[in-house]
Amino acid sequence: MSMRYGGGRAILQWAMLFSLWLAAGIACAQPVSKPQAGNHTVLVVGDSLSAAYGIAAHEGWVALTGQRLAARKPAWHIVNASISGDTSAGGAARIVAEVVRVKPAVVVIELGANDGLRGLPLRDLRRNLARMVGASQSIGAKVLVIGMRLPPNYGQAYTQEFERGFCGIADLMHAACLPFLLEPIARDRTAFQDDNLHPVASAQPALRDHVWPALAPLLD
């Protein structure tokens, strides 16, 4: 489900991404305990979209995914380490502590929306994503990167580069990628709270169902 870079700037882009990969390896060089055999844990590191902002925690797509795991893959469970308002920098700063604490077999990274909404440098977003993927893979965990899109008022160049960054890093680092978390509900205004940013409770099952086909292969 991932997308790749193309066009005349491909060589420059790949060189840049390779340097980010090296940076991720350096940042995560400290020893990290690997998952124990039989530890079938999914760790979700995200922002308010995964932290069930504005609704009850058990109504969010992460909790609903946990319920599906209990029904379909009872050996597995999910740990939600999402923080409302978090940026990719915040995730990169805490990812090592989280994987050491949880020792997950699968890590889901859903961060970057707040970077885009604040107009933060996309170079930093890519670097932070690479660090999070690298830290997760350093313990032997499989990784799913979940991407985001921005409204067009942020400008075509910024929005396109923002969107490409998620699956670009995932491709480079051999991780899975879901390009856009809100794809099934993005055009439905009634699926969002009054802020027009956070999905309502009734929209959460659609997000769970959207993430599941990308997540399920990593559980085998």
Catalytic residues: 48, 195, 198
Which amino acid, one-letter code, is at 159? T
Q: Where are the beta strands (DSSP E) in the chain?
A: 41-46, 77-80, 106-110, 142-146, 176-178
Structure tokens at 35: 């998952």
What are the C-alpha distances in Å from 176 to residues 10, 69, 95, 145, 216? Answer: 21, 19, 18, 6, 11
Of 33, 45, 35, 124, the C-alpha closest to 86 is 45
Q: How many CB atoms lie within 10 A of CB 203?
A: 21
Cβ within 8 Å of residue 26, ≥6 positions away:
none
The tally of CA atoms less than 13 A away on the side-chain side of residue 23 is: 18
DSSP state of 199: B
